[in-house]
């Protein structure tokens, strides 16, 4: 099935895709609001009793939904220090194999300082060993060597970092190096780091690395001893400061330079809700460890005030008479009668005391519907990560044609895809629908595809027309000329008979006389 201009058709309401886009920009026209105005309960106040923290900037994001549960100056531009290495690790995992051999150049060893794993010039490690050294020991020479290996050149890798950040929606990030050592042009924000961490946590190998408490780098040709490294994230290990060990912590990353201050990324999975905490510039004396106390306060606050649910737990339908966008369906999202369904894989974060009926839902059709991948996810056609357009895949059994976002008091709590499953690959009409759901610009052959009886009718009509035309030509070209010739001959013979008769009669008369 192919989509005209890859646009979602509002055929039932007679609106074009561009009109739909303008309509959805108006929140009130496309919202399915079931908010209870008088529920008899105390209204939830979003930032009520939020903890006071020392960090200049902080954010807590729920990883599966992207919901922001807490923020303090999340877009303030600051120095990330070694939190940079989250991006370095992600790019290495996405572009190389763990079995790759990384050779350490002179630049990698001599042009870095600070945290180090003691790697020598010319030494060779597998990429797997490098990534554990990067994320656990925070080794700067390893970050440099990874950049040269993955990017081909150091500068090319830095460009890859910035391109990836842009593709993830980071709007205030500019990387200048792969390790986070101070550079006045090497800046980011808490919000952008949360987006990078969210993407990284989708990578199984990344999760395994950051959750590892200690690792052994084996002997090499140049080093005849094993290197033992431990994770610096105290909320995971509690090695030096047991009081900061946090229940459910699955990893994170520490970061510090004199100008960046103390930064900390923490990933926690508890009761099915996975939170990403980013605190930046928690300046304090070393013993105070404000980055840990800030993170613990924020995580405790968010876990106590929010809970996560599966969207599949809530039956969602929509009276199509109120919303022309889907008026081709008798009951949108009804499991028994509609080809439009809400993806069952999504989650929603609900504040304590807030029910699903209190949440505002906003429908947004996609400009470019995309085929559903085999793993149930939409083909990535809008982020810029996919080189080819998969929206027209004829093999797809279903298509993502829109999304629903869930908000409360203006805060996004989650979102889910709207899935269209056609009854058959040949048909462009939904069974029982009043109008086509997908509009397609097609040739006559495509329009008639699946209607072979029309070809039989057309063939018979053509044959009848040819027969009639042949009879007319026969009458004009053959029958009429022949008739004229026969008539001419008959007239000619009649004249001869008359002359002969007249001559005979004259001779007979002469004899009689």
Q: What is the pLDDT of residue 383?
A: 39
Please give the biggest Cα pair distance in the chain: 168
111 and 140 in a common domain: yes
Q: 390 and 424, same structural domain? A: yes
| Distance, C-alpha 367 to centroid of its chain | 13
> Does 403 qualify as catalytic in the annotation?
no
From the candidates 57, 64, 138, 416, give the one annotated as an active-site residue.
138
Which one of 72, 85, 128, 289 is the catalytic residue?
85
- Domain presence at residue 65: yes
* Tens digit of each residue's pLDDT (9 = 90 or more) over 436-478: 444 443 444 444 455 556 777 888 888 888 889 888 888 888 8
Q: Does residue 207 sit in the same domain as residue 327?
A: no
For residue 205 the two structure tokens come to 């190998």
335 with 243, same domain: the answer is no
> What CATH number has the domain bearing residue 121?
3.40.710.10
pLDDT at 63: 97
Closest CA to 209 of 226, 194, 231: 231
Q: Which residues contact 215 (CB under 8 A, 6 or more apart)?
A: 132, 133, 136, 228, 229, 230
Which pLDDT score, from 0 to 100, does residue 376 have? 56
Q: Are 366 and 402 in contact (CB under 8 A)?
A: yes
Judged against a pLDDT cut of 80, whether residue 167 lies above it is answered with: yes
Q: Which residue has the higher pLDDT, 346 or 80?
A: 80
Question: H/E element holding 275?
Answer: strand 273-280
To the query of whether residue 82 is one of the catalytic residues in this protein, the response is yes
Asked if residue 317 belongs to a domain, the reply is: yes
Structure confidence at residue 342 (pLDDT): 75
Query: Is 50 exceeded by the pLDDT of residue 73?
Result: yes
**Residue 337 pLDDT level (bands cut at 50, 70, 90):** low
Please name the helix (run of DSSP H) or strand (run of DSSP E) that holds residue 77, with its range, or none: none
| Across 1-5, 325-329, 401-405, 453-457, least confident range | 1-5
Counting beta carbons within 10 angstroms of the beta carbon of residue 9, is it exposed (0 to 12), middle (13 to 18) or buried (19 or more)?
buried
Asked whether the predicted pLDDT for residue 32 surpasses 60, the reply is: no
- Among the ranges given (26-30, 47-51, 372-376, 457-461), the one the predictor scored with the smallest mean pLDDT: 26-30
Interatomic CA distance for residues 83 and 89, integer angstroms: 10
Confidence of residue 492 (pLDDT cuts 50, 70, 90): confident
Q: Residue 86: inside a domain, yes or no?
A: yes
Instruction: Check 64, 82, 338, 391 and give the catalytic one.
Output: 82
Percent with pLDDT over 70 in the chain: 72
Residue 205 has pLDDT above 90, yes or no: yes
State whether 188 and 275 are in the same domain: yes
Give the domain extent around 418. 4-34+310-441
496 or 480: which leads in pLDDT: 480
**pTM for this entry:** 0.72
Instruction: Indicate left, alpha or beta for 409 from its phi (over 0: left) and psi (-120 to 50: alpha).
Output: left
Average pLDDT over residues 186-206: 98
**Between 510 and 445, residue with greater pLDDT:** 510
The structure tokens listed for 373 are 């991948």
Considering its fold, how many domains does the chain have in total? 3
**Residue 210 included in any domain:** yes
DSSP conformational letter for 479:
I
Does 201 share its domain with 343?
no
Please report, for residues 161, 213, 267, 271, 304, the alpha-carbon distance to residue 246 in angstroms, rounded to integers and kept in the order given. 31, 14, 10, 14, 15
Q: Is residue 488 part of a domain?
A: no
- Residue 501 included in any domain: no
Would you state the structure tokens that stand for residue 20, as one six-digit string? 């739909």
Judgement on whether residues 109 and 219 belong to the same structural domain of the protein: yes
Same domain, 15 and 164: no
Q: Report the pLDDT averaged over residues 333-356.
A: 76
In a domain, 376, yes or no: yes
Residue 363 · residue 24 · CB < 8 Å: yes
pLDDT confidence band for 236 (50 / 70 / 90): very high
- Residues 348, 476, single domain; the answer is no
Q: In terms of domains, do 30 and 78 share one?
A: no
pLDDT digit string (tens) for 382-441? 433 333 333 344 455 778 888 889 999 999 999 988 888 776 544 444 444 444 444 443
Position 499 in a domain? no
Nearest alpha-carbon partner for 437 in 449, 447, 422: 422
Active-site residue 243, yes or no?
Answer: no
Domain boundary among 441, 460, 492: 441
- Quote the pLDDT of residue 333: 54
Residue 98 and residue 162 in one domain: yes
Last residue of a domain, one of 415, 441, 467: 441
- Mean pLDDT for the chain? 80
Q: What is the secondary structure of 389-436 as a DSSP string?
A: --TT-TT-S-EEEEEEEEEETTEEEEEEEEEE--S-SS--S-TT-SS-
CA dist., res. 298 & res. 158, Å (int): 32
Write down the pLDDT at residue 374: 58
Question: Where in 64-135 does DSSP place strands (E)?
Answer: 68-72, 101-103, 124-126
What pLDDT does residue 157 have? 98
Tell me: do 243 and 112 sit in the same domain: yes
Question: Of 376, 410, 441, which marks where a domain is finished?
Answer: 441
């Amino acid at each position: 099935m192919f989509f005209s201009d890859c646009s979602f058709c509002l055929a039932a309401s007679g609106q074009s895709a561009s009109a739909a886009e303008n309509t959805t920009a108006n929140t009130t026209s496309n919202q399915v609001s079931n908010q209870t105005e008088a529920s008899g309960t105390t209204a939830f106040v979003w930032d009520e009793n939020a903890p006071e923290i020392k960090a200049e900037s902080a954010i807590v994001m729920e990883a599966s939904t992207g919901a922001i549960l807490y923020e303090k100056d999340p877009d303030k531009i600051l120095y990330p220090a070694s939190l940079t290495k989250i991006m370095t690790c992600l790019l290495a995992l996405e572009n190389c194999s763990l079995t790759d051999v990384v050779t350490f150049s002179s630049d990698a060893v001599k042009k870095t300082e600070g945290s180090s794993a003691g790697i020598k010039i010319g030494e060779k490690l597998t990429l797997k060993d490098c990534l554990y050294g990067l994320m656990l020991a925070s080794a700067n020479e390893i970050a440099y060597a990874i950049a040269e290996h993955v990017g081909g050149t150091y500068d090319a890798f830095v460009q890859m970092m910035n391109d990836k950040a842009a593709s993830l929606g980071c709007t205030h990030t500019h990387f200048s190096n792969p390790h986070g050592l101070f550079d006045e042009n090497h800046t980011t924000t808490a919000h952008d780091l949360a987006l990078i961490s969210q993407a990284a946590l989708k990578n199984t190998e990344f999760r395994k690395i950051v959750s590892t408490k200690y690792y052994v780098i084996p002997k090499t040709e140049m080093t005849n001893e094993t290197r033992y490294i431990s994770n610096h994230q105290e909320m995971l290990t509690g090695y030096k400061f047991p009081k900061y060990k946090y229940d459910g912590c699955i990893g994170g990353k520490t970061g510090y330079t004199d100008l960046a201050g103390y930064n900390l990324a923490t990933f926690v999975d508890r009761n099915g809700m996975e939170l990403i905490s980013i605190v930046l510039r928690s300046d304090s004396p070393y013993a105070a460890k404000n980055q840990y106390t800030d993170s613990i306060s924020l995580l405790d606050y968010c876990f106590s005030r929010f809970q996560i649910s599966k969207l599949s737990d809530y039956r969602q339908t929509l009276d199509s008479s109120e919303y022309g966008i889907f008026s081709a369906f008798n009951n949108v999202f009804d499991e028994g009668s509609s080809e439009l369904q809400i993806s069952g894989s999504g989650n929603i974060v609900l504040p304590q005391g807030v029910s699903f009926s209190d949440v505002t839902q906003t429908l947004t059709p996609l400009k470019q519907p995309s085929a559903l991948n085999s793993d149930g996810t939409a083909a990535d056609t809008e982020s810029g990560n996919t080189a080819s357009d998969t929206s027209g895949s004829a093999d797809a059994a279903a298509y993502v044609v829109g999304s629903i976002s869930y908000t409360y008091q203006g805060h996004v709590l989650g979102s889910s895809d709207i899935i269209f499953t056609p009854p058959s690959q040949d048909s462009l009409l939904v069974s029982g629908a009043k109008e086509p759901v997908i509009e397609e610009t097609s040739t006559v052959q495509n329009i008639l595809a699946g209607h072979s009886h029309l070809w039989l009718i057309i063939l018979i009509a053509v044959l009848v027309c040819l027969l009639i035309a042949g009879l007319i030509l026969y009458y004009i070209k053959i029958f009429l000329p022949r008739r004229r010739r026969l008539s001419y001959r008959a007239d000619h013979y009649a004249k001869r008979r008359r002359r002969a008769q007249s001559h005979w009669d004259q001779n007979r008369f002469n004899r009689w006389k």
